[in-house]
């Protein structure tokens, strides 16, 4: 039985759309329809009811689905056990928030290239909310972000966290003493995108501090935030991990404050499917990369992730 036809069957059962399945498998809709028809002819049953908007499993299709998933899992397990990773090819679609792009993602991409030299990598950098939506819709394979992705078939693996600190340009001449919320509010505050964990922390911090005027400027680009803080436009809560050069050069300095700033949690998310062993392998590589990053730079810059036992078994 053709494994490509079985893979097409499983993805069409999940996505319920010939168009989305064609996009996911990098094929034409005509090719997807032809594979399903061939599989139906081989089995002698109709697997899908083809409606104007979606394809739904028939009773026979529902019975066949777990067998198809198990056959694909066995194939993937065999390849993972005895296969040569250098022979693995295809497209790997990664998503990552900018905080990860500016810290350990380059090390991960280098590691992937070493172990999977024939994989083509497509990278999307966006907010956690947008990456979650793209992962749920099947447009990316693995996402590195700050929040878990909900869904019965989603796997979320903690990747440690990035400590966050208040910082400013030395040109602002801020006191070396611990600053209160009122003293911080006297300066423009530069924040990550609205509704991100860092923005929600800032909004909650100043809201809990009473009736004070504070200007929180949301900027979607990490590079832009760094430039604005270096130029003295305002102050910000940032992970020291991605301004190490600016801190070493004296372009930025860390502020002392009277409150605790929570670390930025990181998570890898992927959809567990019959062909998700590659996603699991990439997540394990990410765990190793984060661990190396933490050991190299210390707890001021990155906190240890859990062991790779955090990845649930199928």
Asked if 118 and 87 touch (Cβ cutoff 8 Å), the reply is yes
Q: pLDDT band at residue 168, thresholds of 50, 70 and 90?
A: very high
**Residue % of the chain over a pLDDT of 90:** 58
How far is it, in rounded angstroms, from Cα 31 to Cα 26?
10
Strands 189-191 and 216-218: parallel
What does 216-227 look like in DSSP terms, one character per residue?
EEE-S-HHHHHH
Give the pLDDT score at 270.
Answer: 95
What are the tens digits of pLDDT across the range 269-299? 998 876 678 898 899 999 989 988 988 888 8
How far is it, in rounded angstroms, from Cα 298 to Cα 304?
9
Average pLDDT of the residues in 219-238: 94
Average pLDDT of the residues in 177-184: 92
Asked if 130 and 233 touch (Cβ cutoff 8 Å), the reply is no
What are the tens digits of pLDDT across the range 70-104? 888 777 666 665 555 666 778 899 999 999 999 99
pTM of the model: 0.72
Query: Under CATH, which number does the domain 165-254 receive?
Result: 3.40.190.10
Give the pLDDT score at 88.
Answer: 72
Q: Which fold has domain 3-82?
A: Arc Repressor Mutant, subunit A (1.10.10)
Domain ranges in the chain with CATH number 1.10.10.10: 3-82
Asked if 221 and 234 touch (Cβ cutoff 8 Å), the reply is no
How far is it, in rounded angstroms, from Cα 217 to Cα 236?
10
The count of other CB atoms within 10 Å of the CB of residue 179 is: 21
Mean pLDDT, the chain, whole residue set? 88
Judge: domain 85-161+264-310, CATH 3.40.309.10: no
What are the tens digits of pLDDT across the range 45-65? 999 999 888 899 999 999 999
Spatial neighbors of 175 by CB under 8 A, at least 6 apart, are 183
Q: Is the per-residue pLDDT at 227 higher than 90?
A: yes
Q: pLDDT band at residue 11, thresholds of 50, 70 and 90?
A: confident
Give the pLDDT score at 226.
Answer: 94
Give the pLDDT score at 124.
Answer: 96
Which strands sit side by side in the sheet containing 165-168, from one edge to the other? 216-218, 189-191, 235-238, 165-168, 253-254
Cα 157 from chain centroid? 10
Domain ranges in the chain with CATH number 3.40.190.10: 85-161+264-310, 165-254
Which of the pair, 266 or 75, is modelled with greater confidence?
Answer: 266
């Amino acid at each position: 039985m053709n494994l490509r036809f079985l893979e097409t069957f499983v993805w069409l059962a999940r996505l319920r759309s010939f168009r989305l399945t064609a996009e996911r498998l990098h094929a034409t809709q005509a090719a997807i329809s032809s594979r399903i028809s061939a599989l139906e002819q081989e089995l002698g049953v109709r697997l899908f009811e083809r409606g104007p908007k979606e394809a739904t499993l028939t009773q026979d299709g529902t019975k066949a689905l777990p067998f198809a998933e198990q056959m694909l899992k066995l194939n993937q397990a065999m390849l993972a056990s005895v296969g040569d990773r250098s022979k693995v090819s295809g497209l790997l679609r990664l998503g990552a928030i900018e905080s990860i792009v500016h810290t350990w993602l380059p090390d991960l991409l280098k590691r992937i290239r070493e172990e999977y030299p024939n994989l083509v990598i497509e990278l999307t950098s966006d907010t956690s909310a947008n990456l979650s939506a793209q992962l749920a819709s099947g447009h990316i394979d693995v996402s590195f972000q700050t929040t878990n992705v909900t869904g019965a078939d989603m796997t979320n693996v903690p990747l440690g966290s990035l400590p966050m600190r208040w910082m400013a340009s030395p040109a602002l001449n801020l006191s070396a003493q611990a600053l209160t919320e009122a003293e911080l509010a006297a300066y423009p505050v530069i924040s990550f995108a609205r509704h991100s964990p860092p923005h929600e922390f800032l909004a909650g911090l100043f809201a809990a501090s009473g009736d004070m005027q504070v200007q929180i400027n949301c900027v979607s680009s990490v590079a832009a935030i760094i430039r604005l803080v270096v130029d003295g436009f305002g102050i910000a809560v940032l992970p020291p991990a991605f301004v190490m050069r600016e801190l070493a050069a004296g372009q930025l300095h860390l502020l002392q404050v009277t409150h605790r700033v929570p670390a930025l949690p990181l998570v890898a998310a992927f959809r567990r499917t019959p062909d998700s062993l590659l996603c699991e392998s990439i997540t394990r590589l990410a765990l190793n990369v984060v661990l190396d990053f933490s050991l190299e730079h210390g707890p001021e810059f990155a906190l240890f992730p859990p062991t790779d036992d955090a990845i649930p078994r199928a």
